[in-house]
Structure 1
Amino acid sequence: MDVRLRRIAAKLAIVPYLPGRSHSFGEDKHRFRLGPPLPEAEVAAFEARYGVRLPREYRDFLTTLGHGGAGPYYGLLPLETWHRSVIGDLPSGHLTRPFPLEPGSRPGPEGCEELGSNPFSGAIPLVHQGCSYASLLVVTGPARGRVVDIDLDRQPPFFTSDTGFLAWYERWLDEIADGLTSAGFSSSLPGGQAALASVLRDSTDSVSRQRAALTLSRHPTLTTQTMDALAEAVRRDGHAMVRLHALGALTAPLRGPALSVLEQALDDPASEVRALAVRQLERRGERWYPRVRRALRDEHGEVREAAIGVLDRCEVLTEADVLPLADDPAAAVRAAVIVALRRLGSGHAEPGARAALDDPDLGVRHCGLGVLARARWLTGGDLAKATADPGLRERAERLARR
């Protein structure tokens, strides 16, 4: 048996019973058990039927360790069900056509539309991740042997960082053993904290730095050296998404000089970083409330919405905070104000929710209708207006029947 297969078999036998391991999303379905290995003749017959040769790592796994079952997300799909799996109807010759992307490439703004009518050709589904997401193994084309994640809602596919099927599968086991959370598995990099911190500091590729920060955010505890590397990325990285994910990974309490990282992030040029910094203030104590209130005047709606949410959850939000934002240009802020006024028991809540039925944004109109219904302020006139609105009609009719 290949040394990697032997190592994977040993890990699969012990990982479920390790103290401190993390829960693998979907493990209740597969219970870390593989189906029996496939006979060589059966695999060869599959290859002959579809005109392909399976990548060696995957082929050896199927014939040596097992077939279907234990694996990331809801577990490995059986080989024989690939053609009626999560991808849907597949044209003849699907597996013989090259997968249209190779590692390092991504479609442009049009996403999967640029890849033609069969954007997932040349690939076998490995696992269903839930909703519209799945992981595929490329069997034909320049990316042969690589694992790629797809969104059936036609978002662009992206390759995992793993060199092949066995590296992908073993990383899943290693991450469970190390206590990493399941969320973010597909976007993560292999390696321990020291290696990931090195990528965060030294890589010239912003995508690799993002993935390093995302992976570190999944670790249950972080070393002082790792925290320092993340803090440095928040302060100095030139890419907004790297700063965002590095800040998100800094979940441990920040004290002393390290607290300056959060203060700097509140003035970051990227609105998404400022919004996250505001949300992180929720756990920092009341001395930060004035700083959160300053964010109510931020130039970007995402930051203003975050500030409303933090002050509301901390139970320090006032009418004076939100009434100036009732006509905010950002729809999400207007919706947050409607909800907040109702929680505050404000006399402006009912007329504000009713006025929202005329808002130009459908989401705000839904919010207003929901507040009116939950507070039992809904009138026949409100229902008539909502029923006349194509975007609200179905919900209004349900409320009327109720």
Structure 2
Amino acid sequence: MDARLRRIAAKLALVRGLPGRAYSFGEEKHRFRLGPPLPESRVTAFETEHGIRLPQCYRSFLTTIGHTGTGPHYGLESLDDWYHAVLDIPRPGHLATPFPLSPTGPAPGPDWYEALDGDDPEPFPGALTLAQRGCSLATLLVVSGPARGRIVNVDLDLGPPAFCHDSDFLAWYERWLDETANGLDRSGFDVSLPYDVPTLTSLLREAPDPAQRDAAAWTLGRYPTLPPAAASALRAAAVGDVDAGVRRAAVIALGRRPGPADEATLAQALTDPCDGPRLAARGALSRRGDAWQAQAQAQTRAQATRPAAGE
């Protein structure tokens, strides 16, 4: 067993009973219980049947740690149920057909499905279901094509898919265990960055890509407590970032557990020229008691008399 598998096995034995740990949406289904490992012969038979080789990280997990149960959202799906989120019934060749998107290509837009080849293309070939996320949402593991080994979140109603930032299955799974142990807010796991707080703080302050700054702010906001440097970076981004989306993400992060300095920043964000940060600040402050309710309502009335500002 390699080092990552040993770490994951040790964390699985400890995390469930940790005081102050986070409780995942859907945990009531798997109850933090993982099924036993699969025999090598069972995994090999699956690969032969579908004409694929499972990514080694996932394969090793199945044969040495376990399968079905403990995991993000409603837990890991059984290998037998690989098709549940993407097909009504299994189709020959589905897993061997390359997944049509790549994490290194342009982010798929609203019309991504219409751009696929064919009159009625299958949207998610080459991927098996890892976890159901509720409603039409699911998390898949790509097993064929240039994105092989990566985790992708999909909307069965054909909203744009989004690749997780984790490098492979084990990185994704161990991040979920670490976040659970550290009490991170259960929302946002699928879009969070897999970095520590100092790295996230640096990205929020310095990353040239606003999408990275946005994700860094969102990820920091999931922590139950933050060191002063990270909190300061969020306050600076909430009122000073040039991108309205980043300002909104920072405002939402501050609004989850605001201290006095955060409340002052949220009050300043009430005058943001863009709707996203301003409405996020108004929502956060309106939950802080009668005094803030009154200020937020006054700001609403004042804003109603101004021309609408675009994002």
TM-score past 0.5 threshold: yes
Tell me what 2:71 maps to.
71
Q: Aligned letter for 2:34?
A: L
Identity %: 51
Determine the structure 2 residue equivalent to 1:106: 107
Shift of 1:253: 3.6
Q: Is 1:30 aligned to residue 34 of structure 2?
A: no
1:294 is matched with 302
Report how far residue 91 of structure 1 moved: 4.2
> 3-state SS of the aligned residue for 1:293?
helix
Give me the whole-angstrom Cα distance separating, in 1, the residues matched to 2:306 and 2:155: 34
| 2:12 alignment partner AA | L
Q: Please report how far the alpha carbon of residue 121 of structure 1 lies from its aligned counterpart in structure 2 after TM superposition.
A: 0.9
Q: Distance in 2 between matches of 1:67 and 1:21?
A: 22
Which residue, 243, 246, 258 being the options, matches 1:242?
A: 246
CA 1:100/1:217 → structure 2, altered by over 3 Å: closer, same or farther? same
Which of 162, 166, 188 is the equivalent residue of 2:166? Answer: 162
Q: Taking structure 1 as reference, are residues 255 and 36 closer, same or farther at Cα in structure 2, changes over 3 Å only?
A: closer
Q: Closer, same or farther in 2 for the Cα pair 1:23/1:98, shift >3 Å?
A: same
Partner of 1:267: 271
Shift of 1:98: 1.0
Residue of structure 2 equivalent to 1:191: 195
Number of corresponding residues: 300
Moved more, 186-195 or 241-250: 186-195
Cα shift at 1:221? 1.8
Flag the 1:293–1:281 CA change in 2: closer, same or farther, 3 A.
farther
SS of structure 1 residue aligned to 2:189? coil
User: Any residues of structure 2 matched to 1:271-282 within 5 Å, and which?
Assistant: 271-282=275-286
CA contact (8 A) 1:27 1:74 kept: yes
Q: CA deviation at 1:173?
A: 0.4
Work out the CA distance in 2 between the residues paired with 1:219 and 1:69: 25
Shift in CA distance, 267/44, structure 1 to aligned 2, threshold 3 Å? same
* SS of residue matched to 1:114: coil
In structure 2, how many angstroms separate the alpha carbons of the residues matched to 1:88 and 1:298?
50
Structure 1 residue 111: Cα displacement: 3.2
| 2:279 partner SS | helix
Larger gyration radius, structure 1 or structure 2? 1
Q: Within 5 Å, which residues of 2 pair with 1:236-385? A: 236-251=240-255, 252-255=257-260, 261-282=265-286, 283=288, 285=291, 288=295, 289-300=297-308
Distance in 2, Cα, partners of 1:43 & 1:25: 29
Deviation readout 1:172-201 (Å, 9 max, x if unpaired)? 000011001111110011233222111111
1:64 maps to a residue whose letter is T
> Is contact 1:234-1:261 (8 Å) kept?
yes
- Higher mean C-alpha displacement, 64-73 vs 185-194: 185-194
Worse overlay, 41-50 or 266-275: 266-275
CA distance 1:238–1:102, change in 2 (3 Å): same
The residue correspondences of 1:36-75 to structure 2 (distance < 5 A) are: 36-75=36-75
Q: Deviations over 1:231-267 (max 9, x none)?
A: 11122222221110011111244546x6553344223
1:123 alignment counterpart: 127
- Partner of 2:82: helix, strand, or coil? helix
SS in 1 for 2:191: coil
Q: Structure 1 pair 254/182, CA: closer, same or farther in 2 (3 Å)? A: closer
**Residues 60-109 of structure 1: per-residue CA shift (max 9 Å, x gap):** 000101111111001100101213x0112354311111111111432233
* Matched residue SS, 1:68: strand
Per-residue Cα deviation, 1:189-215 (whole angstroms, up to 9, x for no partner): 123322211111121222221111111
Q: Partner of 1:344 in structure 2?
A: none
**Higher RCO by CA contacts (8 Å cutoff, separation 6 or greater):** 2
Query: What is the distance in 1 between the residues matched to 2:307 and 2:111?
Result: 29
Matched residues in 1 for 2:46 and 2:235: separation? 51
Question: Is 1:132 matched with 2:131?
Answer: no
Look up the SS of the partner of 2:68 in the other structure: coil
Distance 1:298 1:280 in 2: 22
Gaps of 5+ in 2: none
Q: Is the 8 A contact 2:81 2:129 kept in 1?
A: no
TM-align CA RMSD:
2.0
For 2:301, the aligned partner's letter is R
State the partner residue of 1:88: 87
Q: Separation in 2 of the partners of 1:268 and 1:301?
A: 10
AA of the residue aligned to 2:298: P
Unpaired runs of 5+ in structure 1? 303-402
**Does the aligned pair in 1 maintain the 2:187–2:222 contact within 8 Å?**
yes
Deviating more after overlay: 186-195 vs 169-178: 186-195
* Matched residue SS, 1:19: coil
Alignment partners' CA distance in 1, 2:283 and 2:234: 18
